[in-house]
Amino acid sequence: MSDIVTERSGRILRIQLNRPGKKNAMTSAMYITMADLLNTTANDDQIRVVLWHGAGDSFCAGNDLEDFLKNPPGPGESPQARLIHALIDFEKPLVAAVQGAAIGGGTTMLTHCDFVYAGKSAKFQMPFVNLALVPEFGSSYSIPARIGYLRAAELIELGLPFDAARAAEFGLVTRVVPDQILLAAASETAQKLAEKPAGALQACKRLMRRPVREELAQAAKLENEAFSACVRSADAKEAFTAFLEKRKPDFTKSGQASKVA
């Protein structure tokens, strides 16, 4: 079965991340498929809304580490960068239903959604720094802009996990609902959006995002360059090795930090 499953229902395209055994962790192929889906949908007049969710008990655990280590992103175009650009450019409404783990990219991808419904089981985290990496998806700009610098520093520089209630308090999710009605709540909003006049709806989103679109694109470019440098660093090698060996990493031997952004 495909790692990404799609279903058209009227004017709604439902996209499901479908690796429940891996908590829907993203592979390079999945990034490319998602980017292609969004780019195709952007030009499909029959689809007005995208509904995005994960299979099983998780939304997305970020990168599949095994695949990631085989295909680390470079400073230029990469599967991750393709999806980032597709999300920044997407002018139709994106509605997400988030249950369980939303880790790394599983959190930062959501900053591009218009509506984010979180089940009470949702657990968010941006632990990039713990892997000697930096955030992506333009989140180094969008998260501080949305929740304030001090709160963002707590979540990004410490990499602290936070639950659905705190995500709602910070304005990172639209609403918290019981897991049992999560998909129904997100689907109801998607249906309401699908019944709106498409031209005006897209214009609303385009106008609201206009002031930040260039900043997001610039942030994503700088993140990509920094991420590419970080992933090849001694600290990252130690972090990945420690993760695979299930031990605490030791960053005291890697020497002075180098400037990567």
The reported pLDDT for the residue numbered 244 is 84
| pTM, 2 dp | 0.93
Query: Quick one: tokens of 254?
Result: 């890697």
The reported pLDDT for the residue numbered 260 is 55
**Crossing angle of helices 198-231 and 139-147, rounded to 10°:** 120
Overall CATH class of domain 4-194: alpha beta
The reported pLDDT for the residue numbered 66 is 86
The reported pLDDT for the residue numbered 254 is 63
The reported pLDDT for the residue numbered 261 is 56
148-158 burial by CB neighbour count: b if 16+ within 10 A, else e?
eeebbeebbee
* Domain locations in the chain as residue ranges: 4-194
Q: Give, for all 261 residues of the chain, the pLDDT tens digit.
A: 799 999 999 999 999 999 999 999 999 999 999 999 999 999 999 999 999 999 999 999 999 988 888 887 766 678 999 999 999 999 999 999 999 999 999 999 999 999 999 999 999 999 999 999 999 999 999 999 999 999 999 999 999 999 999 999 999 999 999 999 999 999 999 999 999 999 999 999 999 999 999 999 999 999 999 998 998 899 998 998 888 888 999 988 665 455 555
Query: Quick one: tokens of 123?
Result: 């657990």
CA distance 139 to 76: 18
The reported pLDDT for the residue numbered 217 is 93
Q: What is the residue whose two structure tokens read 């279903």? A: 7
